[in-house]
Amino acid sequence: MIHTIRFRLTVLYSGLLFVLAALVLGGIYFAVSKTTEQRPITTEYAKTYSGDQYLGKREVVFVEEVENAVNVRTMATLRDFSLLTLACLYVASLGIGWVLAGRVLRPVRSITRTTEEIQATDLKRRIRLRGPRDELKDLADTIDTMLDRLEEAFSAQRQLIDDASHELRSPLTIIRANVDAVLAAPDASEEERARAVAIVDRATTRMTRLVEDLLASARRQGTAFADADLDLARVVGEACDEYATPAAARDLTIERTLGAGLAMTGDADALRRAVSNLLSNAVRLSPPGGRIEVGAGRSDGMLWVSVRDDGPGLREADQSRVFDRFWRGEASRRDRHTGLGLAIVRQIVESHGGRVEVSSRLGQGATFTLWLPPSASGRSPA
């Protein structure tokens, strides 16, 4: 108990009150002693006679000596009562200080009790401290805000694990079924084995894509990237260069319209991946001989990047869900796509303080637009 804050506050309060009272009473005593005449009491005697007869000596009392005796007794009484008052005041201040310290620290006990009851599996508890808007109220509100962020992060993490487990379970089941039924069977024909190998290869490719997308999502949520000044047009151009060969293999044309002076602050690798994910979907979904339009510019004080394809497009009801994690359209379900690419795009753009938009009509392709804030200086890096 000696090391508790309540005990230390009690001792501090009592000590300060005791010192203050001692100074006040000492000052009063000193002032009174200086203004009161005091000297040792003396006794004088006088000879008394009755006529010519000597009667002896009698004690003589003078008015000055009476006053002096009264002063000495008064100062002694004042000293004794001052010491007794200080002792009583110190004992009383200990009790009062203990009670007051307990009342002051009551919110701290509430904060401690609530935080002890909070577990990683249940972050719904909140302190919600009532009372005046003081430092302890601000502390409790700050902890509640932190718990809100932690609950949101843990919920997103659990949802990601659940979704990833569900997505990985299907290809693993396919691989296990084909290994047990065909590849491990001694009487399986070569045609059956070849078909099983193709199925296992597609399932493995799907798992590889899923793991890569999960790693990219986890890296962006962490602190692995360092932002720097960059030219958005250069980043978009590099992403287009990476997909020039896959687009040519499907007889697709990538048309670029990139503006100048698109300076911003961000992570070039992450932004390049966001544009690459859009180009990957465009190359995968556009019909052979189609055209992919890529643009970048500035509008209304914001930088923008757009990727338009000639793919199957999106229904209006699906446009609000296209950026959700693990959501897949009909075309993506047919080719076993992971459904994480556009979710990662939104995550990267929002982490840069921007937003994503999609405009599409069923059967008429889709246009994805990334809006990003420019750098404060507005100058492109050298």
275 in helix, strand or coil?
Answer: helix
Alpha-carbon gap, residue 307 to 257, rounded angstroms: 10
Q: Work out the mean pLDDT of the chain and round it to a whole number.
A: 76
Q: Locate tokens 């697709």: which residue? A: 252
Query: Hey, which of 86-95, 104-113, 152-161, 249-258 has the most confident mean pLDDT?
Result: 249-258
Alpha-carbon gap, residue 229 to 382, rounded angstroms: 9
**What are the structural domain ranges in the chain?**
5-104, 121-224, 225-372
- Counting Cβ atoms within 10 Å, is residue 34 exposed (0-12), middle (13-18) or buried (19+)? exposed
Question: 115-147, pLDDT tens digit by residue?
Answer: 777 766 567 778 787 777 777 788 888 888 888
> Nearest to residue 369, comparing CAs of 297, 317, 315?
297
Percent of the chain with pLDDT over 70: 75
User: Is pLDDT of 187 > 50?
Assistant: yes
Alpha-carbon gap, residue 106 to 100, rounded angstroms: 10
- Structure-model confidence comparison of residues 18 and 160, the more confident one: 18
Per-residue pLDDT band at 20 (split at 50, 70, 90) = confident
Are 121-224 and 225-372 the same fold in CATH? Answer: no
Alpha-carbon gap, residue 217 to 348, rounded angstroms: 8
* Domain over 225-372 is classified CATH 3.40.462.20: no
Lowest mean pLDDT segment, chosen from 33-37, 91-95, 126-130: 33-37
User: Is pLDDT of 88 > 80?
Assistant: yes
Phi and psi torsions of 184, nearest 5°: -90, -5
> Nearest to residue 323, comparing CAs of 306, 307, 346, 305?
346
Mean pLDDT, residues 70-96 taken together: 79
What does the pLDDT read at residue 49? 54
Question: 298-345, pLDDT tens digit by residue?
Answer: 998 899 999 999 888 887 767 677 777 655 554 444 444 445 678 878
The fold for domain 121-224 equals Helix Hairpins (1.10.287)
